[in-house]
Amino acid sequence: MAKVSLQKVRITGLRGHYKILMQELHRWGLLEIIEKKEFIESSNQPGENFFAVFDLARLDFVLKSLAPYESKHDKADSFLSGGKLVMSEEEAKEKLKNFVPKSEDIISECEQIEEDLVRHKNHLHRIQKRKSIIAPYKLFHTPLLETFSTQTSETRIGAIRLLQKESFIETISNESHLVDLDVFGEEDGKFYFRITVSQEVAPRTLEILNSFGFEELDVQNEFSEFLNQKPREIHRSLEKEEKETEEQLQSLQSRREKLAVHLNDLRILYDYNVWRKKKNDLQYKILQTKNIFAFEAWMPERDYGKLEKWINDIFVGEVIMEQVDSEEGEVAPVYIQNKTGFASYEIVTEMFGTPGTRDIDPTSYLAPFFFVFFGLCLSDVGYGLILTFVSLFFLLFGTFSKSAKDGILLLLFCGIGATLGGIFVGGYFGMTAEQAPTFLLNSSYLAGVEGSLPFKGQFLDPMTGSGPITFLIFAIGLGMIQLLTGIFLDFVKRMKNKEYLDAFCDPLAWFFFLVVLCGFSVADIVGLPKELFKNLSLLGAGILVITQGRSQKNWFLKPISGVLGLYNITGYVSDLLSYSRIMALGLSTGVIGFAMNLTAGILGGMMPHPIVGFLVAVVFLLFGHGLNFALSVLGAFVHSGRLQFIEFFGKFFEGDGRKFKPFAREKKYLFFRNP
């Protein structure tokens, strides 16, 4: 039985023991605490920090800002553990103890550096902007003044668009002879100049300037601290300042990089603080008064004795645990646990949902089907072996949490399945018999002869002759087996839930009908007595007509409902057809692989030199098969999954359960090795 039965418990104790109890319960991770409204409402104790907690937002900020500077060595270390820090719990505690005293200094230093970096970057930005403004005026050899105008003349410096230069000069010289134009240069599509005119024509000149979109150099706002300095000097001092700021940025940057050596310690600190916060926060979900605390929780029944003994030994009656019955309408969470191997397929089940209280855990039943379907969908020995060896490598040399390990194990099974599927249909990187190395080939193979299969161990050739139809029938046959299994599981489920009448009338009646119908349809091929199966089918249909109308109150409508119930056969037919995707996906892996090989050959042949051609072909093959591998694995996985979710689960599984989520340590960065 893969569903672990859960027990509801109540724990009551003296407040003084809260800290030590929570510490241990959290470490064991056995209990899912129930948030009980009455308990929360009758609590009359203000919150208390049982565990000192560091500001997590600050820690998170520092971790994020330092993460990009992690040493390559550390990164490589955590590669085989999915980015987690692997150590024993004692090591982590020891490191934490050493790190805590200096943690505040390191964190505030890092925060200060981040702040300074932002400030300096903004400053640098502003300097660069001003530098670019003043640069075109370097030829202006007069110190900058707030205004260059005198009693008789007015002077402006600035720029217009270069395209309008000619027409501007023409307009302005037509206006007056008392105009002096000094050109500094033409840059970035702009025309920079100084213009001096006599006061009489000044207003008119300004009008003309504005009509040409004149951008005047804003000395007062942009360069007020540089008054009485020549643009060239300003540019020079801005350059100096830029260099200084860049140096400061550099030194801040290297200080930050140095701080990155503390990353791992900071990570330990982070995880521990998350746990502490969780333990502190829990007090708001339970009953607590000045002297006592109490809460209710779900826990696996099998661990009850162990926990009870521990509580009695440690707290000798000052904390007590007792079993309580669940209240009316209260739905227990569901905890599924399967044997190693099958446990990997829990991932597939969880993709759909957690089994409800009435459901049976479908994991171990879907596992063989998923294995076979995935194998036939991918159906390539090459791709299967890649998947197998990569996941095997991580399993053997990596350190992963149980859930991550289950995921890799699932990929390993998928790889093995695909390898077997590949042998079954003769898929080897999409190679044809002519391209394949001879050790893969049957010695008796005769090209072009119907029924002669090229590859060793091959069962059918999906590309030639009747191969595709055989494959299709095979896929649909597998579907039939899965559908019947699903209907049978529905029968088991209903019996378990004591719905005996329904169990016999629905799943069992349909099971019988579908089996004899199958027998009837293949009777000629496998040599079954056709007449017998015909009569049995009629009997099955008759049973369905009688039973399917049973929920109708009206006696007249009962037989009509029964006959209409037979119409459900179309649902089974469409379910069966859905299994044809196994064949289509299986074929597509091979054909795309074949197409990639073909294209690589053509591309290689087009190259002027055989060596260049060979290299081009190899690069294309890597790319093409990489793409095919990724798409085919994704397709095989999601479609094998879909067949479970829609066709298989549709027969018996509701998946409306709530997953058991124990109060346990969630490790974002850490992974504890057993000492």
Beta strands 319-323 and 85-88 are: unpaired
Helices and strands: H and E segment counts in the chain: 24, 13
> Cβ neighbours of residue 34 under 8 Å, at least 6 residues apart?
8, 295, 296, 297, 298
Closer residue to other proteins (CB): 448 or 527? 448
Query: By C-beta, is 450 or 531 nearer to other proteins?
Result: 450
Instruction: For other proteins, give the closer residue by CB, 501 or 646.
Output: 646
Could you tell me which residues come within 8 angstroms of residue 157 by beta carbon, excluding any fewer than 6 positions away?
Answer: 137, 140, 148, 192, 193, 194, 195, 216, 217
Q: How far is the CB of 18 from other proteins (least distance, A)?
A: 31
Phi and psi at 413, nearest 5°, equal: -60, -45
Backbone angles phi, psi at 183, to 5 degrees: -90, 130
* C-beta of residue 427 within 8 angstroms of C-beta of residue 590: yes
* CA-based end-to-end distance of the chain: 32
* Host H or E run for residue 4: strand 3-4
**CB-nearer residue toward other proteins: 355 or 562:** 355
Token pair, residue 131, equals: 């530098």
226-to-215, 234, 244, 385 alpha-carbon distances in Å: 20, 7, 18, 72
Q: Which CB, 271 or 502, lies closer to other proteins?
A: 271
Instruction: Report DSSP state, residue 455.
Output: B
**Between 234 and 576, whose beta carbon lies closer to other proteins?**
576
Question: CB of residue 273 vs other proteins: minimum separation in angstroms?
Answer: 20
Minimum CB–partner distance for residue 578 and other proteins (Å): 7
CA distances from 313 to 319, 474, 504, 602 (A): 10, 62, 52, 78
Q: Which is nearer to other proteins, 40 or 646 (CB)?
A: 646
Residue 581 Cβ vs other proteins, minimum distance, rounded to whole Å: 5
Taking the complex as a whole, the smallest distance from the CB of residue 348 to other proteins amounts, in Å, to 9
Tell me how far, at minimum, the Cβ of 574 lies from other proteins, in Å: 10
Shortest approach of other proteins to residue 1 CB, angstroms? 24
Selection from 588, 591, 575, 593 nearest residue 636 by Cα: 588
Shortest CA distance to 263 belongs to which of 504, 64, 453?
64
How many Å apart are CA 168 and CA 171, to the nearest integer?
A: 5
Q: How far is the CB of 203 from other proteins (least distance, A)?
A: 52
Neighbouring-strand partners of residue 156: 195
Q: Which is nearer to other proteins, 64 or 309 (CB)?
A: 64
| Residue 595 CB, nearest approach to other proteins (Å) | 4
CA distance 536 to 519: 10
CA-nearest of 456, 465, 489, 462 to 474 is 462
Task: Return the number of the residue (532 or 577) whose C-beta is nearest other proteins.
Answer: 577
Helices 402-425, 580-606: axis angle to 10 degrees equals 80
Q: How far is the CB of 584 from other proteins (least distance, A)?
A: 5
Q: Which is nearer to other proteins, 319 or 596 (CB)?
A: 596
Q: Which is nearer to other proteins, 96 or 463 (by Cβ)?
A: 463
Q: Which helix (H) or strand (E) holds 3?
A: strand 3-4
Residues in touch with other proteins (CB under 8 A): 350-352, 463, 468-469, 472, 577-578, 580-581, 583-585, 587-588, 591-592, 594-595, 598, 602, 631, 634-635, 638-639, 641-642, 645-646
**H or E element, residue 523:** helix 509-526
* Shortest CB 125 distance to other proteins, Å: 23
